[in-house]
Amino acid sequence: MPLIRFNTGVRWCHMIERRFRHDPDQTTWIDGARCIGEDPELFFPMGAPSLVAAQTLRAKAVCDGCPVLDECLEWSLATAQDAGVWGGLDEDERRELRRHRRRAATLSTVGR
């Protein structure tokens, strides 16, 4: 669950959208991620296109060889993460993967 900070302390809240309702046991993979301890901003590049490209490559280098790369990618797709580098893929790459999977699912349904 996302953490919300208030002036009076910290409190847990529930997300409204169904896609965010996941059992915490489904995210135990996070403990094995290579990105733990890295600056989170590395994975959400902003700025001039050349800087974004360089930062995206650095983020992907952290992902390279991560033991939970597949779990991270699938989680990002299941929860519709639209920004940042997740599972070694940037926004455009994940968008293309989702598109490819939708086409494949449609084709398999039509072919029946």
SS3 content of the chain, % helix, strand, coil (to 5): 55, 10, 35
* Nearest residue to 71 (alpha-carbon basis) of 32, 29, 101: 29
Q: Is residue 25 part of a domain?
A: no
pLDDT in tens, 38-79: 999 999 999 999 999 999 999 999 999 999 999 999 999 988
Q: Is the pLDDT of residue 93 over 90?
A: yes
Which domain covers residue 84, as residue numbers?
33-110
Supply the pLDDT for residue 43. 96
- Residue 106's pLDDT band, with cuts at 50, 70 and 90, is confident
Q: Would you say 2 and 14 are in contact if contact means Cβ atoms under 8 Å apart? A: no
Place of tokens 């590049």: 45
Q: Is residue 66 part of a domain?
A: yes
Using a pLDDT cut of 90, give the percent of the chain over it. 59
Q: Is residue 82 part of a domain?
A: yes
Per the model's pLDDT, the better-predicted residue between 18 and 4 turns out to be 18
- Residue 2's pLDDT band, with cuts at 50, 70 and 90, is very low
Give the chain's domain count.
1
* Nearest residue to 35 (alpha-carbon basis) of 94, 75, 82, 78: 75
Using a pLDDT cut of 70, give the percent of the chain over it. 76
Q: How far apart are alpha carbons 108 and 100 in whole angstroms?
A: 12
Q: Is residue 12 part of a domain?
A: no
Q: Is residue 19 part of a domain?
A: no
Q: Would you say 19 and 78 are in contact if contact means Cβ atoms under 8 Å apart? A: yes
Q: Is residue 9 part of a domain?
A: no
Q: Is residue 20 part of a domain?
A: no
Q: Is residue 50 part of a domain?
A: yes
